[in-house]
Amino acid sequence: MHLILFFIFGGLCVAGALNLLLQRHPINSALSLIVVMSSLAVLYLLLGAEFLAAAQVIVYSGAVMVLFTFVIMLLNAGLEERTHGSRAAYIVGFPGAAALFAILAYMFLQNRGALGFARLGDQLVTTADLSRVLFRNLLLPFEVTSVLILVAILGAVALARREH
């Protein structure tokens, strides 16, 4: 059952990511990103990381994507122009993607006997341990991130209020 759910939500995640890249309207791209983040939350749930799945839904699928959608609507972004991309991106991108695919295929084929089994680690991490690390050891990066998000919100509002 877990393998079936993994393939369903993994496929949804990949389809949402491709839709995010192929959409012309920014609101549709933001909605595709919500699908990707919600699918990732289900994948976290399948791995047994319930806290991480709940945080993914609450923080990313909820708050951050509402903020993205609000900023897109506030800036009144319309259709984006299609470009053909740079030649350097094609020259580096396709061989890089092929090399990444080859490495992943090699890794999967090496561990063919272990396919379907995921090992998370020897230790059981509780929510108390996670919060202790987050709010004691990593407090400065956590607060810097919140200040950066606040500055981004203020910058978006300042750009939107500017009269042309």
Burial of 98: CB neighbours in 10 Å, binned 0-12, 13-18, 19+: exposed
Percentage, residues of the chain above pLDDT 90: 10
Specify whether 11 is located in the same domain as 43.
yes
Query: Are 72 and 27 in contact, with CB atoms under 8 Å apart?
Result: yes
CA distance 116 to 51: 23
Specify whether 14 is located in the same domain as 68.
yes
What is residue 25's predicted lDDT score, i.e. its pLDDT?
79
Specify whether 35 is located in the same domain as 104.
no
Domain assignment of residue 149, given as a range: 121-164
Specify whether 77 is located in the same domain as 20.
yes
Per DSSP, helices labelled H in 23-138 are 26-46, 50-55, 65-75, 87-110, 127-132
Domain end among 113, 130, 156: 113
Among 108, 42, 34, 46, CA closest to 72? 34
What is residue 149's predicted lDDT score, i.e. its pLDDT?
85
Say which amino acid occupies 88.
A
We report the CATH number of the domain holding residue 76 as 1.20.120.1200
Check whether 98 has a pLDDT greater than 70.
yes
Give the pLDDT confidence of 14-36 residue by residue, as tens digits: 999 998 888 877 788 888 888 89
In Å, what is the CA distance from 1 to each residue of 10, 46, 75, 115?
A: 14, 10, 44, 15
What is residue 115's predicted lDDT score, i.e. its pLDDT?
47
Instruction: Tell me how many domains the chain contains.
Output: 3
Specify whether 7 is located in the same domain as 54.
yes
Specify whether 127 is located in the same domain as 61.
no
Within 10 angstroms of residue 31's Cβ, the number of other Cβ atoms is 16
Specify whether 157 is located in the same domain as 102.
no
What is residue 163's predicted lDDT score, i.e. its pLDDT?
62
